[in-house]
Amino acid sequence: MEHQKTSKQLLGELLDKHYADALHAKAEGKPVAWSTSIAPQELLETMGIHAVYPENHAAAIGARKHAQEFINHSEGKGYSVDICSYARVNLAYMDIQQCEAANIPLPDLIFCCNNICNTVIKWYENIAKELNVPMILFDPPFNHEYEISDQNVKYIKAQILHAITRLEEITGQKFDYDRFREVMKISSETSRWWKKASLLACAKPSPLNGFELFNYMAIIVCMRGTKEGLELFKLWHDELQEKKEKGVGPWKDGEEKYRVMWDGIACWPYLGDTYKVLKKYGINMVTSTYPDSWYIVYDENDLDGMARAYSSNYVNRNLAFGTDNIIGIVKDFQLDGIIYHSNRSCKLMDFRQFEVQRKVEASTGVSSVIFDGDQTDPRAFSLAQFETRIQALVEMMEAKKRMGGAFYE
C-alpha cells in the first residue's frame, strides 16, 4: 500500500518509473523532450510530452562511476576537456545510448532554458542539430539589478507564450489551458513542499543528512509537475518532521558536531567518499543552494509570476543577491562553516565564488574552505586534498567555537 512506503522507497520507485515511462512513450511513438533542469516543464507536462533531463542523467552516470568512458568518447570526438562534464557525458550518451544507470530515449524535441547555465545553449543546439530535432530556447536575461525587472518578466513571458505556439505546431495539438492551470498549481505546490521539507534541517540537530538533498533532488527536477512528485515531498516532510520532534539527528551512529552548507554541485563520482570524510569529522552538510533552486512558486494562471520565478534562480542573479542569499542561509541554518566546491565544469558558478566567500566571511565570520573538484569528471578531484581542506575547516571551526563562535551568532 502506497502510504506505508518510506519516502526513500518511493523515491527509488518514482525514478524507475520516470525512466521507464520515457522509454515506453518513445516505443509508442509519442514525443520525448530533453530538457534543462530548471525549465518551464509545465508546458511539456500540459502537452503530455514526456521530458527527461540530461543533467540529471549525467549525474546518475557519474554517481555510478561510469562517467569516464562517456567523457573519453566525447573528447575523442573533439569536445574539449574544458567543456562542462555533464555536456561531455550527455553528448557521448547520445551516440552510445547505453549505460549502467537507467537508459533514456533520444529526444524528439529540445527544451532549453539558460537561467542556470550558458553552456546549455551550445550543448543543446548541438544535440538538436545532430539529431535534426526542433529546439525551444528560453532566454531569461541575467539580472544585473537586485530584483527582477518588469522588462525581463515581459520578455520571458513572451517567450513562454511563443513556446506554447511552437509546441502546438510541433505536436499538431491544441494547448489545454485548463490542464495548464492544474499543472501550474501542482508544480508550485511540489516546490513548496520540497522547500518546507529541506528547511526542517534548520533544527539542531538537523533531522536531515544533507547528502539526501542530492538524492531527492532527482525528483524535484524530473517530476515537479506531477502528483506523485508532490506526494513524495509531503511524505519526506512528514518523516523529517517526526524525526525533528523526537530530536533525532542526521545519523544513527554519530552526532552532528558541525553544520555546514555545500556551495555548488556535488562531486557525483565521489559522493560516498566526500560524505564519509564529512561524517568522520561529525560534519553534517545541512543544506546547499538546492532548496531555493527549485523553489519555483507562483499563483496558478499567473504567467508573469511564472516568468519571474524562472528568472529568480540565484545563479541568474547579481552578486549582491547571491551574497545575501548565502548570508541568509548561514543565519537560518546556524552554520559553522561553508564548503565551496570550485567546480571545473561550472564556470558560471565558480566565476564569483572567491568574492562571495570574502563577502560572506566579512559579514558573518563563518569559516569556509574552497576545494577543487568536478561534478562528473573523476579526474579533477583528489580525495587526499579534499580531506586536508575539510580537516583544516574543522580546525578553524573548532578554534572559532572556542573563541565564542562566528559574529552572526
Partner 1 sequence: MYLGVDIGSSSSKAVLINRAGMVCGEGIVNIGTGSKGPQISVEQALRQAGIQRCDVRKCVVTGYGRLMYEGADRQITEISCHAKGVKFLWPTASTIIDIGGQDAKVIRVSINGIVENFVMNEKCAAGTGRFLEVMARVLDCRIEDLSGLAARGNPGVVISNTCTVFAESEVISQLAAGMSIEDVALGAHKSIAQRIAGLCNRIGIADAVVMTGGVALNHNVVTAIEKEIHHPIIRLEDPQAMGALGAAIFAREMEAGNS
Which residues here bind partner 1, judged by CB under 8 A?
A: 342, 354, 358, 361, 367-370, 372, 380, 382, 384-385, 387-389, 391-392, 395-396, 399-400, 403
Inter-helix orientation angle 211-222/177-199, to 10°: 180
Selection from 295, 266, 268, 117 nearest residue 194 by Cα: 295
Please say which residue, 20 or 399, places its beta carbon nearer to partner 1.
399
Min CB(383)–partner 1 separation in Å:
11
Grid coordinates representing 188? 508550485
Min CB(264)–partner 1 separation in Å:
15
Tell me which amino acid residue 259 is.
R
Please say which residue, 238 or 395, places its beta carbon nearer to partner 1.
395
- Asked if 319 contacts 187 with a C-beta cutoff of 8 angstroms, the reply is no
| Helix boundaries (H) for 314-382 | 319-332, 347-350, 353-364
Please say which residue, 24 or 358, places its beta carbon nearer to partner 1.
358
Please say which residue, 160 or 277, places its beta carbon nearer to partner 1.
277
Min CB(359)–partner 1 separation in Å:
12
Give the C-alpha distances (Å, rounded to integers) separating 247 from 208, 255, 286.
11, 12, 15
Min CB(275)–partner 1 separation in Å:
18
Helix H or strand E encompassing 98: none
Please tell me what DSSP assigns to residue 333. T
Please say which residue, 241 or 363, places its beta carbon nearer to partner 1.
363
Min CB(392)–partner 1 separation in Å:
4
Min CB(396)–partner 1 separation in Å:
5
Min CB(117)–partner 1 separation in Å:
22
Please tell me what DSSP assigns to residue 268. G
Please say which residue, 165 or 388, places its beta carbon nearer to partner 1.
388
Sign of CA dihedral 55, 200, 212, 232: negative
- Asked if 25 contacts 32 with a C-beta cutoff of 8 angstroms, the reply is yes
Gap between the Cα atoms of 151 and 157, Å rounded: 10
- Asked if 314 contacts 58 with a C-beta cutoff of 8 angstroms, the reply is no
Dihedral class, residue 405 (left if φ above 0, else alpha if ψ from -120 to 50, else beta): left
Min CB(174)–partner 1 separation in Å:
54
DSSP string, 63-81: HTT-HHHHHHHHHHHT--T
Min CB(375)–partner 1 separation in Å:
16
Dihedral class, residue 213 (left if φ above 0, else alpha if ψ from -120 to 50, else beta): alpha
